[in-house]
Amino acid sequence: MNNRYLGALILSPLIVFLFIGGIFLKYLVFILSLCGLYEFYKVLREKDIHSFSIVGYILCIIYYLTLGTRINTDLLFYIIILATLICLSIPVIKIEYNFIDVATTLLGFLYVPIFFSFIVLVNNKPYGNYLIWLIFLSSWICDTSAYYSGKFFGKHKLCPKVSPKKTIEGSIGGFLGSMLSCGILGIFVVNKGVNIPLIHFFLIGALCGILVQFGDLVASSIKRFVGVKDYSNLIPGHGGILDRFDSILFSSVVVFYYLSFIVGI
């Protein structure tokens, strides 16, 4: 069996959890966050950056155990400040560590567990069982549309120093694919009684069509900096958790922020 198909088969249970939602989805995302955090800290060691991984894991566990239908922003703020204070003190005691190790420890927590958690927070919103698909459709369709648009029409490099194979034509195809797929989803869910104007679905798709490509490029820039092809080989044909979910991390933030601050739900 082709490795990519095998990897897709391994990932297929995620679809079931998206339909189930609730506590089951929360703890699946928690597990994905821990795995992704491990990958992030692991690849940094290729550049002799020794993040305090145990601190990141503890922060991740505390965050998900206290995560409800909303983020407890007060608690999160106090936890991050305390963790920063502790981490900054470590290089004074152990001089083999430095402030870069501190910075990447905290960045890993924000980039992986926090970004991942917006999947759960969107699911917890009104109509969340429908709206959560905006996160995944925008990413999946953008990636697929960008791949085929680039394959058949790509002539001009988009960001060759970060990801040599990506093209401007592919990027435009990804943008259009994301916008149209979210718009079509909007037509479906509005007919199901979701009280959100249809234009918002197209706008979310357009924003995700831009930002999910940044999510992909951000992951590529990190891997290029540390000199690895994939974050891990956990998923055959797909790499690691962060290789598969790099664009979804960004789309989850976009969808949550748009629904919270523009739609107001």
153-172: pLDDT as tens digits: 988 898 888 888 899 999 99
Predicted TM-score (pTM) of this structure: 0.91
Whole-number pLDDT of residue 135: 96
Per the structure, the count of domains in the chain is 1
What pLDDT is stored for residue 12 in this prediction? 66
The two three-digit tokens of residue 123, written as one number: 């699911």
Domain range for 29: 3-263
Task: Give me the residues of the chain with pLDDT under 50, please.
Answer: 1-2
Q: Which residues pair with 239 in a beta bridge?
A: 235
Return the pLDDT at 1: 46
Confidence (pLDDT) at 238: 67
Number of residues that this document lists for the chain = 265
38 to 232, 241, 244: CA distances (angstroms): 10, 10, 15
Residue 182, token pair as written in the block: 């979210």
Q: What is the pLDDT of residue 160?
A: 85
* Averaged pLDDT of the chain: 91
- The CA-atom distances, in angstroms, between 100 and each of 55, 58, 104, 222 are 15, 19, 6, 15
pLDDT at position 201: 97
